[in-house]
Amino acid sequence: MTEDERFMREALAEAREAAARDEVPVGAVVVLEGVIVGRGANRSIASVDPTAHAEVDALRDAARTVGNYRLTGATVVVTVEPCLMCAGALVHARVGRLVYGAPEPKAGAVASVFRILEAEALNHRVVAQGGVLEQECRELMQAFFATRRDGNRTRSRTGPGR
């Protein structure tokens, strides 16, 4: 198992915890010098905060851990390709590397919809690699949304709120 896969398994554990709280199952870890310094999972619903994505949560945790909002040289490992907000946060935190699992075809800002990390106007570059444990990351998301769709069909047959 590679280091990227080992850390992706940690991110997947965070994603599963998010799913258990009925949040979209995205998890992230921040790694600095081979050590996890930050962890995060989606918590937008519970915290009533549209910015409470796994990556932002993990960046905040890492910044507190190291005592600096700049995370130069850090690697962020996340189960799903970051959105525009999260990709921007990676740039602002001066993260060195991004590793993600599954692409996000509707809102991915690294390769799928936008390529924000390649924007020449930005003053920092984040090296990105996708596809690490991609199948496992994708299956977690698909299972979560399949369960939600099934639940919505059941509610529609039994009436609202049931």
8-state DSSP, 52: -
Sheet with 127-129: list strands edge to edge. 35-41, 27-32, 75-80, 97-102, 127-129
8-state DSSP, 113: S
Tokens, residue 106: 């509707």
Q: Which of 10, 14, 23, 55 is catalytic?
A: 55
- Would you call 55 a catalytic residue per the annotation? yes
Q: Which amino acid is at 83?
A: C
For the annotated catalytic residues, the residue numbers are 55
